[in-house]
Amino acid sequence: MFGLPGAVAVVTGAGRGIGAASAVALAEAGADVVISARTAEQLNEVAGRIEVLGRRAVVVPADLSDVDATAALADTAVERFGRLDVVVNNVGGTLPNTFLTTTPDFLEDAFHFNVTTAHALTCAAVPHMLKGGGGSVVNISSVMGRLAGRGFLAYGTAKAALTHYTHLAATDLAPRIRVNAIDVGSVHTSALDVVARDEKIRTSMEQATPLRRLGHPDEVAAAVLYLASRASGYTTGSVLRVDGGIGAPNLDFNLPDL
């Protein structure tokens, strides 16, 4: 039930971390994959891992904050592989910021990068998925879309919007296209290196996590595979938590009271 033989997937932000792990996991299950991110060298390395598995990869270096470039990935999948079955909206993220330095432009940029790009690709993918009989969209959200912590205003707001977008899109696109999300906790990717390299901070984060460790990209990729495959065929509009069990932020920027 977890196999994807003959399926075609698009994964954004696939040069490293969760995106790269997800692309490889989908390939292991039998899918051919279109992968996109900014850095061609990273994408080529991921493509090599996919091809070793006997699957095909198309590398598309692009600035995925450009919604036209992001949307075009759907057509690329169909042009190169003849169909499109799975979309993983992984690209996103926003730097932490204080309340008063979170300008309206900063907030809008966070929304654009985390939500608008996902909508652009999903919209472009839907007609192709319908022609193929249906499909699955997986949005990579964050625990900060449901938890409150200082410094996360823009990021948390954007991820909360992506999570609710998932509920709404699932309703709009049922029954032929399923839309689900993953609430990701603290996963040790390059984006977290800046804090994970500090033993004191890393230990504090681990102790604040019920499972007492940071997550691994492969653990999120396994959830992506579940939501992409027919194993989750009766699941849509859901948010799967892959967060180590946290109920409060495990990273404190120690921002003072105003």
Which residues are the active-site residues? 155
Contacts of 46 (CB under 8 A, 6+ apart): 14, 15, 16, 20, 23, 24, 35, 57
The two tokens of residue 4 are 């994807």
Give the phi and the psi of residue 59 in degrees, each rounded to 5: -95, 125
Tokens of 71: 């949307």
The CA distance from 254 to 189, in Å, is 22
**Residue 195 φ/ψ, nearest 5 degrees:** -100, -30
Residue found by looking up tokens 């681990």 in the block: 206
Determine the 3-state secondary structure of 184 from DSSP.
strand
What's the helix, strand, coil split of the chain in %, to 5? 50, 15, 35
d(C-alpha 97, C-alpha 253), whole Å: 10
- Check if the beta carbon of residue 35 is closer than 8 Å to that of residue 70: no
Q: What is the DSSP string of 120-170?
A: HHHHHHHHHHHHTT-EEEEEEEEGGGTS--TT-HHHHHHHHHHHHHHHHHH
